[in-house]
Amino acid sequence: MTKDVKTILLIEDETDLVLGLTDAFEFEGYSVHAAQTGEKGVEQAETLNPDLIILDLMLPGMNGFNVCSTIRKRDTTTPILILSARSQENDIIRGLESGADDYVTKPFSIGELLARVRAIFRRIAPGRDHNSSRLIKVGDAEINVDTYTAVVGNKQTDLGFYATAILHVLDERRGEPVSRDEILDAVWGIDANPTNRTIDNFILKLRRVVEKNPAKPRHILTVYGQGYKLAQ
């Protein structure tokens, strides 16, 4: 991580969500500015020159699509992540075509949104070795932490966000046991609705992909009374 504080402009009209996201992002070390209408968002995008814009589609007045294309007319580089309750494919396509870089549909977990934001900053960070920062090797499997996929031989499997994030947490402490509570904190953060059982199910899913014999795992190990550990 670089030391300079990154600024996020949040264009969102739901006050509770603005407060929750501001807390979460400030806790992660970002500086957050919020605009509650599209017009104010366009204005602040210009005056603040933020490092990233999180944009809701359903706004009073100017809608998110128009906000996005208006910002893009002047600024082609600042990443824009669209946040919206709309999950229809044509809205996603329209959002991306109006110049957004990524798209998260509500309801979402704060953990997922933070991970997406970190991934965007990793992609644009200068001089980073992308291949080494994005792949985790587990046995014969290679897991891409940005696309949430695993490749074993010539077979690619979609792991999804949570299984990938859990593996990432284990990999950061490879060789050490990590408790289920630590995994919950790291992956779900303050939006911790899931239970320990949820983690166990994602571990089973991971083992089915990366282990030759999922019933006798050699890579993703259970440490009784402690949690899980990724073998060296």
Residue ranges binding Ca ion (CB under 5 A): 13, 56, 58
Token readout for 130 is: 């992308």
Residue nearest to Ca ion (CB): 58
Nearer to Ca ion, 82 or 114 (CB): 82
Contact 184, 192 (CB under 8 A): yes
What SS3 class is residue 125? coil
Report the alpha-carbon angle 45-48-52, nearest 5. Answer: 60
- Cβ nearer to Ca ion, comparing 56 with 102: 56
Task: Report the distance separating Cα 76 and Cα 51, nearest Å.
Answer: 12
Least Å distance, CB 106 to Ca ion, is 9
Instruction: Report, in Å, the least distance between residue 84 CB and Ca ion.
Output: 8
Smallest separation (angstroms) from Ca ion to the CB of 56: 4
CA torsion, points 82, 99, 144, 117, in degrees to nearest 10? -40
For helices 160-172 and 110-124, what crossing angle results, to 10°?
Answer: 70
Question: Residue 101 Cβ, how far from Ca ion at the closest point, in Å?
Answer: 20
> Which CB atom, from 83 or from 230, has the smaller least distance to Ca ion?
83
Minimum Å distance from CB 92 to Ca ion? Answer: 17
Which residue's CB is nearer to Ca ion, number 13 or number 182? 13
- For Ca ion, the closer CB: 48 or 58: 58
Least distance (Å) from Ca ion to the CB of residue 36?
Answer: 9
DSSP 176: S
Kindly state the helix (H) or strand (E) to which residue 53 belongs, with its residue range.
strand 52-56
Q: Smaller CB distance to Ca ion: residue 13 or 28?
A: 13
CA of residue 33 relative to chain centroid, distance: 20
CA distance linking residue 181 with residue 43, whole number of Å: 42
CB under 8 Å to 6, separation ≥6 — which residues? 29, 30, 31, 51, 52, 121
The residue type of 163 is A
Helix 110-124 and helix 180-188, axial crossing angle in degrees, nearest 10: 70
Residue with smaller CB distance to Ca ion, 56 or 91? 56
In the complex, least distance from residue 77 CB atom to Ca ion, rounded to whole angstroms = 25
